[in-house]
Amino acid sequence: MSQPLPSLIGMNLDDLTALTAECGLPRFQAKQIARLLYAKRIASIDAMTYLPKAARELMAARYRIGREAPIERVASADGTVKYLFDAGDGCAVESVFIPEADRATLCISSQKGCKMGCAFCMTGRQGFHGNLTAAQIINQVLSIPESEQLTNVVFMGMGEPTDNLEAVISAIGILSAEWGLAWSPKRVTVSSIGRIAELRAIIERTDVHIAISVHSPFHEERLGLMPVERAYRIADVIDAMRDYDFAHQRRLSVEYIVWDRLNDDYRHADALAQLLRGTAARVNLIRFHRIPASTLKPAPMATMEAFRDRLNAAGVLCTIRRSRGEDIQAACGMLAGKH
For the bound state, the minimum distance from the C-beta of residue 127 to ligand SF4, rounded and expressed in Å, comes to 10
Side by side, the strands of the sheet bearing 282-287 are 72-75, 81-88, 91-99, 104-107, 152-155, 188-192, 209-213, 252-258, 282-287, 318-320
Burial class (CB in 10 A: 0-12, 13-18, 19+), 245: exposed
Which is catalytic among the residues 68, 94, 198, 229? Answer: 94
CB nearer ligand SF4, residue 159 or residue 217: 159
For the bound state, the minimum distance from the C-beta of residue 291 to ligand SF4, rounded and expressed in Å, comes to 11
CB nearer ligand SF4, residue 55 or residue 106: 106
CB nearer ligand SF4, residue 66 or residue 124: 124
For the bound state, the minimum distance from the C-beta of residue 156 to ligand SF4, rounded and expressed in Å, comes to 8
CB nearer ligand SF4, residue 9 or residue 122: 122
For the bound state, the minimum distance from the C-beta of residue 308 to ligand SF4, rounded and expressed in Å, comes to 22
CB nearer ligand SF4, residue 7 or residue 109: 109
CB nearer ligand SF4, residue 9 or residue 211: 211
For the bound state, the minimum distance from the C-beta of residue 220 to ligand SF4, rounded and expressed in Å, comes to 18
β-pair partners for 256: 285
Burial class (CB in 10 A: 0-12, 13-18, 19+), 8: buried
For the bound state, the minimum distance from the C-beta of residue 309 to ligand SF4, rounded and expressed in Å, comes to 27
Residue nearest to ligand SF4 (CB): 124
Interface positions with ligand SF4 (CB under 6 A): 114, 116-118, 121, 123-124, 158-160, 193
332 annotated active-site: yes
114 annotated active-site: no
| Residues belonging to the active site | 94, 332
